[in-house]
Copies of this chain bind each other. A is one copy, B any other.
């Protein structure tokens, strides 16, 4: 392995932030994914002005326009910070949970553009019923998940007839102002039914967020007093859509393909990503860049935690399984709903705002096992089908891929070939965990050894914590 390949992810990040040049080898893997839809590509070179007083920087949208035309940025300029903080102190307070704060982060950086705050009722209803919002100009943007803030009766009482409220983070600091508020009923049953297509007990986001939440939703225009940070050693990976767009431009990317994940990267993923790049080159793009974009907000208890995943991803780049020169690894700050076809639209839409014009969608995106029945909660094909039909996502190129599995004939990950099904070994998360717990190695070629070691270490630590 050459020195350049062994670059640690942090150096890669620093690299791309400071000198924006790397000089690394070409992709290693190259196998055919099923690329169904490649839409006509139009080069857009537009300079977008602010339109928002808080958004003074020019945002260049070289590949794809953000939804609504202007990337939302709701962090108040430093010059106004002190006066806004004083103003917030005098307002009625709404206490945020950790996950509420993740949504403040998401909204403030424009991942949900053109949304400028927690949803008011008219946005909520459109999201719930139509998975999209109609703009004043008649254009439709995708918005499949209700992005809402719940409050309880006591808080509603304290707010009274106030027009604005201050949002207080889990640590007690004022993090944002919500202006021109609207309070409306939080019909949890209906929200859950329409978002998940079920109200069965055991939905992780429902149990963590919705069931304990108050019976009211509060919408309004958000102003975030300073950029949201988590101080967990990973903030440097949390690039905003504006930073990502700038980086794509600096790298002179002429195509950006996003890969959403919340699991460790195995060689099946890697072969797909590398092959996608190869395909894009064959299509005439000169410099397609991969946005490897792990989800960083709330995940369910048995998912691999973010810090472990980030370490695993860094090993994958160090080992040269993915090429740091053409890959940007960053954290997508959204919480996870596990809402299948409804949520995958959100995952795709947010990446449009970050500048990606290609989106790779796998089997059963944002899916999980049914909590009470022996089946997947969603039809594994519905995610990619819905994505190609979804209002407001027409400008995004959707790249579906075939299932990858371990090919015991060639001892490597490959796309499943049904004509010789018996040669293929499916290594599920559960199976992977069993390998790690039993100290067994997975088949050679399933994952780069250094990435695997990260997982073994993690699973050993969880075992040590479990009661005997």
Contacts and interface: CB of A to CB of B under 8 A. Distances in A.
How many copies of the chain does the oligomer comprise?
Answer: 2
A185 interface: yes
A382 B125 CA distance: 8
B194 A189 contact: no
A196 B199 CA distance: 11
A294 to B, nearest CB: 26
Interface in A298-319: none
B198 A389 contact: no
Contacts of A84: none
A125 B385 contact: yes
Interface stretch (A128-136, A274-282, A283-291): A128-136
Contacts of A390: 129-130
A200 B194 contact: no
B131 A129 contact: yes
A130 B385 CA distance: 13
A63 to B, nearest CB: 23
Contacts of A199: 193, 198-200
Interface string A384-395: 011001110000
Given A140-B391, A187-B379, A341 B129 contact: yes
Nearest to A187: B379
A342 B198 contact: no
Contacts of A134: 389, 391
Contact of A125 (B187, B198, B386): B386
A248 to B, nearest CB: 29
Contacts of A144: 129
Nearest to A144: B129
A185 B126 CA distance: 27
Contacts of A445: none
A446 interface: no
A346 interface: no
A391 B130 contact: yes
Interface string A171-186: 0000000000000010
9 contacts: A125-B341, A125-B382, A129-B144, A129-B389, A129-B390, A130-B390, A140-B391, A185-B379, A391-B391
Per CB-CB distance, the 7 closest pairs between chain A and chain B, nearest first, are A190-B197, A193-B197, A193-B193, A194-B197, A193-B198, A199-B199, A189-B198
